[in-house]
Amino acid sequence: MPPATTRSPHDRLSRPQQVAEAIKSWVMQNGWGPGKRLPSESELIARFSMAKGTIREAIRILEAQGLVKSRTGPGGGVFVHQVSEARATALLGNYFYFEHLTIDDIYQIRQALEPELAASLAGQLSDAQLAALEDVMTCYSEAARTAEEEREQHVASLRFHALLAEMSGNALMRFLIRFTANMLAEITVSRRLYAQPNRELWSTGLDYQSRLIDALRRGDAVAARQILSEHMKNAHRLMLLQETVLTQRFLPENEII
């Protein structure tokens, strides 16, 4: 029995989709990487014996997936393009537009991932990296006075986690941490949760992160894991009070954090 591609015979692929798939596997088989220029429109028209419109739609499909980019003018054309994190985030975000994630859901993942991330980074960071973490922390070292400052502190605290993720050698970990933080920001911003003064969250958050940086510097993986685990548990608990269903929008193709 073959690996069995589970496409029902009823949803046949349109010609542009066929062409897009063909180009995909063509690029893959030749091992072409980012920057590689694909044949021009007219060449593709000749190669696939299809009309311009059909070829163009195929290119658009690949472009929407972030796999190619096209430029006009001489030396222009269609180029293989590395899918950006922003694009991947937006595309995955579309999926969760229809699933209704709660703050609980997101924190269950963060609760599992972040301590593991912290543990894996203990003793691995350079002085410059540790300094960068402390730098972000100082953005919210003082109690917020206005709602605007409150919001900025909230964003900064999420940036702390994003920065930590950036330091991981694990691309999957990096993406997931940043994605979950993004989703959380979407909720809190869209629901104005940050507007509710939550001094306890930010102040205890500051304390935890300070201790975390210390543990990371000492190379104490167990402590780092424990600290971030408690931090997550606490943040989760505080946010739980204002739990809400995520009515997230279609994400535009740009970075939130």
Residues forming contacts to its own copies in the complex (CB under 8 A) are 3, 5-7, 16, 20-21, 24-25, 27-28, 33-34, 53, 56-57, 60-67, 82-83, 85, 87-88, 91-92, 94-101, 104-106, 108-109, 111-113, 115-116, 120, 170-173, 175-176, 180, 183, 189, 249-250, 252-256
Within a 10 A sphere around the Cβ of 175, how many other Cβ atoms?
16
Q: Tell me which DSSP letter residue 79 carries.
A: E
66 contributes a contact to DNA by CB under 7 A: no
Selection from its own copies, DNA, none that 27 binds (CB < 5 to 8 A by kind) is: its own copies
141 token code pair: 């070292």
Selection from its own copies, DNA, none that 134 binds (CB < 5 to 8 A by kind) is: none
Q: H or E segment at 43?
A: helix 41-48
237: nearest Cα among 116, 115, 111, 141: 111
* Shortest distance in whole angstroms from residue 89 CB to DNA: 23
Chain residues 194-233 in contact with DNA, contact rule CB under 7 A = none
249 contributes a contact to DNA by CB under 7 A: no
75, with CB counted inside 10 A (0-12, 13-18, 19+), is exposed
Q: Tell me which DSSP letter residue 252 carries.
A: P
- Decide: helix, strand or coil at residue 69: strand
107 token code pair: 């924190």
Stretch that binds DNA, among 54-62, 108-116, 120-128, 185-193 (CB under 7 A): 54-62
Chain residues 91-110 in contact with DNA, contact rule CB under 7 A = none
Residues 6+ apart with CB under 8 A from 33: 80
41 token code pair: 């429109």
Cβ-based nearer residue to DNA, 5 or 72 = 72
Cβ-based nearer residue to DNA, 54 or 248 = 54
Of 33, 34, 42, 138, which one interacts with DNA (CB under 7 A)?
A: 42
